[in-house]
């Protein structure tokens, strides 16, 4: 059981970024309320994988929040739209962008935090990997903090929320090395947007390519199993 530190809500998908973010929050002596979302994602496997990842941490609370973003659609992760493979990753907004996802997730996190007394919110935003995602940018974070201050009971009473994005300007290799420094075991983490029925990572979606590049640049063996790897 936790005995020290403030409560924090940590968004958690079971991937490298959210796992490292959780480890960093714990290292800062926060007591994490871990929050995952079952939102209709094609890679729903991440929820079950995430449970395995969490076994390495001392976690009192893991909430899995159901919300059906397939009703909104507009993303390759929540519709019949194909997940792109071997894409030239640049700063444009990719079709794997889920409309409003982090806005929705962080709003839910804030609502939970307001009830539980957890005014620190952590998520694994990164502008170096996905600078095209508007909900992973510093200006989004600053604007949402102002909105939560104006739009919550706690905020109007002088208790503001702080959104932490400790990975914001780190490369994937730096993230992996930071996690290893904190003792993170990445063996059960799941990154793939389009896994096969047996859970094997495709090795060709943006997330797989960035993961492979990160481990290679970190000089560390990637524990993930891929159905294909490298250039097409």
Residue 2 has pLDDT above 70, yes or no: no
Residue range 189-223, pLDDT digits in tens = 999 999 998 999 999 999 999 999 999 999 999 99
Average pLDDT over residues 57-65: 95
Which pLDDT score, from 0 to 100, does residue 1 have? 35
* Distance between start and end Cα atoms, the chain: 48
Rounded CA separation 149/158 (Å): 8
Domains, the chain, in order of start with CATH, read 7-218 (3.40.50.620)
Q: How many CB atoms lie within 10 A of CB 198?
A: 8
pLDDT at 25 over 90: yes
b or e along 133-157 (b: 16 or more beta carbons within 10 Å of the residue's beta carbon)?
bebbbeebbeebbebbeeebebbee
The total of other beta-carbon atoms located within 10 Å of residue 29's CB is 11
User: Mean of the pLDDT values across residues 177-187?
Assistant: 98
The mean predicted confidence, pLDDT, of the chain is 93
Distance between CA 213 and CA 207 in Å, rounded?
A: 10
90-121 tens-digit pLDDT: 778 899 999 999 999 999 999 999 999 999 99
Average pLDDT over residues 17-28: 98
Round the CA-based radius of gyration of the chain to a whole number and report it: 17
- Cα distances (angstroms) measured from residue 189 to each of 6, 54, 132, 185, 186: 26, 10, 23, 8, 5
List the structure tokens of 58: 């001392």
Q: What is the DSSP letter of 71?
A: G
């Amino acid at each position: 059981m936790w005995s020290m530190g403030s409560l924090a809500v940590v968004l958690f998908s079971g991937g490298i970024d959210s796992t490292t973010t959780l480890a960093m929050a714990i290292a800062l002596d926060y007591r994490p309320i871990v929050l995952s979302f079952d939102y209709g994602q094609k890679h729903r496997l991440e929820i079950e994988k995430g449970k395995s990842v969490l076994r390495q941490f001392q976690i009192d609370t893991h909430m899995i929040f159901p919300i059906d973003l397939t009703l909104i659609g507009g993303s390759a992760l929540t519709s019949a739209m194909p997940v792109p493979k071997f894409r030239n990753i640049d700063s444009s907004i990719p079709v794997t962008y889920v409309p409003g996802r982090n806005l929705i997730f962080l709003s839910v996190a804030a609502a939970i935090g307001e009830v539980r007394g957890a005014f620190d919110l952590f998520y694994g935003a990164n502008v170096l990997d996905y600078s095209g995602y508007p909900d992973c940018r510093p200006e989004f974070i600053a604007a949402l903090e102002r909105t939560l201050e104006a739009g919550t009971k706690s905020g109007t009473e002088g208790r503001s929320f702080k959104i932490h994005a400790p990975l914001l300007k780190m490369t994937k290799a730096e993230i992996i090395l930071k996690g290893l420094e904190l003792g993170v075991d990445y063996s059960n983490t799941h990154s793939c947007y389009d896994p096969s029925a047996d859970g094997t990572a495709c090795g060709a979606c943006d997330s797989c390519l960035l993961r492979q590049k990160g481990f290679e640049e970190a000089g560390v063996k990637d524990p993930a199993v891929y159905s294909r790897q490298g250039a097409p």
